[in-house]
Amino acid sequence: KAGVTQTPRYLIKTRGQQVTLSCSPISGHRSVSWYQQTPGQGLQFLFEYFSETQRNKGNFPGRFSGRQFSNSRSEMNVSTLELGDSALYLCASSGGPGSITQYFGPGTRLTVL
Amino acid sequence: ELKVEQNPLFLSMQEGKNYTIYCNYSTTSDRLYWYRQDPGKSLESLFVLLSNGAVKQEGRLMASLDTKARLSTLHITAAVHDLSATYFCAVARRNSGGGADGLTFGKGTHLIIQP
């Protein structure tokens, strides 16, 4: 079974631009969560989608948004990029409510110049 | 606010030695996770602990959970170089909406095992 895939793997943007990251969960998984990893703040939960609905959200500004499609693929968008948005963005999939384990993708490394 | 604290944050040890990583969390939770991350890589799931007194073992790693003390430990037995990595514990926060839980992570323990 293929794992979680994320595209692109690396991205360089400049301040003020916007970016869209994509995540395809493990086949059959319906829940997708997004996390940001930085050296200073560590791993932080962004939001979680299940059946195209945002079910849970972390403490991030409104510049961070996401959506999920009917095939469970998810996208995350960051608008008006700031230098501090440079991070590894990880996507995790699970079977959904009550499902125990979250499986993480390889991540997208975003650099904001 | 749920807080997760790991210690130590950095650990250098020799092969063959035993050591324990501690994970304390601030509020009740029903799931405790341990993940491993190699440099430049993603997170690999090691253990999920669901109940008080739960103990799981895989190779040289053993994890346990004490929900009353809000403490989990990851014990390394007879360490080998291949176990060098960063280890994270994470706690699931129950979502009243019934969705999958967002994980709150500790800052990670950077483990170096020297030959």
Q: What is the pLDDT of residues A81-113, one digit of tens each?
A: 999 999 999 999 988 666 778 899 999 999 999
Q: Which of A58, A97, A106 has its CB closest to that of B100? A: A97
Instruction: Give the C-alpha separation, A33 to A113, whole Å.
Output: 26
Chain B interface includes A3 (CB < 8 A): no
Give contacts of B54 with chain A, Cβ < 8 Å: none
The residue among A26, A44, A58 whose CA lies nearest residue A90 is A44
The pairing of strands B10-14 and A108-112 is: unpaired
Q: What is the pLDDT tens value at each position of chain A, 113 positions in all?
A: 679 999 999 999 999 999 999 999 999 999 999 999 999 999 999 999 988 999 888 999 999 999 999 999 999 999 999 999 999 999 999 886 667 788 999 999 999 99
Chain B interface includes A108 (CB < 8 A): no
Cis before A8? omega within 30: yes
Hey, are the CB atoms on B98 and A35 less than 8 Å from each other?
Answer: no
What number of C-beta contacts closer than 8 Å exist between A and B?
A: 70
The pairing of strands B10-14 and B61-66 is: unpaired
Which of A23, A41, A91, A100 would best serve as a mutation to test chain B binding (most B beta carbons within 10 A)?
A: A100
Tokens 């095939």 appear where?
A: A71
Q: What's the alpha-carbon Rg for chain A, to the nearest Å?
A: 13
Instruction: Give the C-alpha separation, B33 to B94, whole Å.
Output: 14
